[in-house]
Structure 1
Amino acid sequence: MRGVEHFLVAFALLTLVSKLASASDPSPLQDFCVALNDPKYGLFVNGKFCKDPKLVTADDFFLAGINIPGNTSNAVGSIVTPFFVDKFPALNTLGVSLARIDFAPYGGLNPPHTHPRASEVLFLQEGTLLVGFVTSNQDGNRLFTKVLNQGDLFVFPIGLIHFQLNIGNTPAVAISSLSSQFPEVITIANSLFGSKPLINPDVLAEAFMLDKTVVQNLESKF
């Protein structure tokens, strides 16, 4: 009997731990959510309303266009075409999304950025890319970098700063799979030098050990 009692106690503890583990809050899908006592001024967040299942058709799970090249004629020589839940409603509640990234020949850059709500698996469909990510301060800001050729995969862990650079003489195309229906993107340079209103240049000059006039010049570009 004592063995049975030990089993029952262990089973009860295991059940309790599993319940606690599953009781965490869902991952946020927006930058912030200020609590309100009066729902009159509230806004629906973290997803979208669901279509009546009886009205759903196969067309709801279909989206064309990922094969269409993006225009890379811009300052960085790349363009990201996201297929997040706002463009592909069938992704709602599924925790996945996609993006197509087109790179101009040699020098096309997807600048350093993060996805605060998703890890990313990048598949290189065409071309040659130099890719990499940087670990957190706690892990010593280590750089992991790799040259990818056609057919290769690379993983960027959630929240870490990463980049992709075309080092080939032909256009490159990559397809990214992300572990959130709306992973969001924070481009480092845009956030720091193009915020609205602008960050005090004294702050950025001190942080980057730059002359204040250099910071002001950078802010003017964004």
Structure 2
Amino acid sequence: MAKHIILLMSLVTLSFGLLAFAFEPSPLQDFCVADSTSSARVNGQPCKNPALVQASDFSFSGLHLPGNTSNPNGSKVTPVSVAQLPGLNTLGISMVRIDYAPWGINPPHTHPRATEILTVLEGSLQVGFVTSNPDNSLITKTLQKGDVFVFPVGLVHFQRNVGTGNAVAIAALSSQNPGVITIANAVFGSKPGISSDILAKAFQVDKSVVYQLQAKF
């Protein structure tokens, strides 16, 4: 019996270890500032020579500036990932500022490599995510200034400004490079385009509807 308990504990420990390594591994040094000039191809970014690292590698300015929401969605995402802040490399975290015009949306999208936690700085936001198949349950809530909401990794989610004024949110993500897949863009705007036969059958609509949507993206 004791051997069975030890074996079970070992399997549980191994499972948690594998789960941890399914995401970004812990850094093995103080920092690994991304070297954008390197031609090396690695999973992430190669490290800059530590002797050449400066404070500016760990700093980003500009999140106090409103984003331009003059677009069809009425929103603007200002990212601070490893591309904008090289010192984030290997640290497994990033952030964004999101500006919303009145009734603007951050359309349904996913982050394939990150969980997102969002807090409202100004305005009111309806937020939500959809659980995976087969339930596809919508989890949604209206947030006010100071409220916080979390979007689990990989799930389709969205935000909408439900106020009459501008809204602003800040979100943190559990990856230096979380990625973003906007559902409509990916499905109807892929290059080359997905066959209209496939999309018409998938969405149970006429091909003319598919052609119309593809033309928009």
**Fold match, TM over 0.5?**
yes
Alpha-carbon distance between aligned partners in 1 of 2:50 and 2:81, rounded to the nearest angstrom: 21
The residue identity in structure 2 corresponding to 1:126 is: E
Kept in 1, the 8 Å contact 2:98–2:170? The answer is: yes
Choose 1 or 2 for highest CA Rg.
Answer: 1
1:122 is aligned to: 118
CA distance in 1, matches of 2:162, 2:146: 16
Structure 1 partner of 2:167: 172
Give the Cα separation in 2 of the matches to 1:19 and 1:194.
Answer: 41
Secondary structure of residue in 2 paired with 1:48: coil
Q: Helix, strand or coil for the counterpart of 1:150?
A: coil
Which whole-Å deviations, capped at 9, do the CAs of 1:58-91 have from their partners, x for residues lacking one?
3321111111111000011001111110111010
Report whether the alignment pairs 1:218 with 2:213.
yes
- Aligned-pair distance for 1:43? 5.8
Indicate yes or no: 2:114 matched with 1:147: no
User: How many Å separate the matches in 2 of 1:145 and 1:163?
Assistant: 9
Q: Normalising by the residue count of structure 2, what TM-score does the alignment of the two structures yield?
A: 0.84
CA apart distance, 1:171: 0.4
Q: What amino acid does structure 1 have at the position aligned with 2:108?
A: P
Which consecutive residues of structure 2, in runs of 5 or more, have no partner in the other structure? 25-38
Aligned residues, how many? 200
Look up the match of 2:30.
none
Partner residue of 1:91?
88
CA shift, 1:20, in A, is 7.3
Mapping 1:181-200, distance limit 5 Å: 181-200=176-195
CA distance in 2, matches of 1:156, 1:204: 27
Q: Residues of 2 paired with 1:156 and 1:206: CA distance?
A: 30
Please give the secondary structure, in 1, of the residue aligned with 2:113.
coil
- Cα 1:162–1:23 change in 2 (3 A) is closer
Decide whether the 8 Å contact of 2:108 with 2:158 is kept in 1: yes
1:52 CA drift (Å): 2.5
2:63 is aligned to 66
| TM-score scaled by length of structure 1 | 0.82
Give the match's secondary structure for 1:137. Answer: coil
Instruction: Indicate how the Cα distance of structure 1 residues 133 and 23 shifts in structure 2: closer, same or farther if over 3 A, else same.
Output: closer
- Matched ranges for 1:126-141 at <5 A: 126-138=122-134, 140-141=135-136
The answer on 1:113 being equivalent to 2:130 is: no
- Percent identity over the alignment? 56
Instruction: Give the CA deviation at 1:209.
Output: 1.1
> Tell me, what secondary structure is at the counterpart of 2:140?
strand
2: CA distance, partners of 1:141 / 1:13: 33
Q: 2:44 aligns with which of 41, 44, 47?
A: 47
Q: CA separation of 1:209/1:43 partners in 2, compared to 1, >3 Å: closer, same or farther?
A: farther
Change (3 A) 1:219 1:18: same
Give the match for residue 29 of structure 2. none
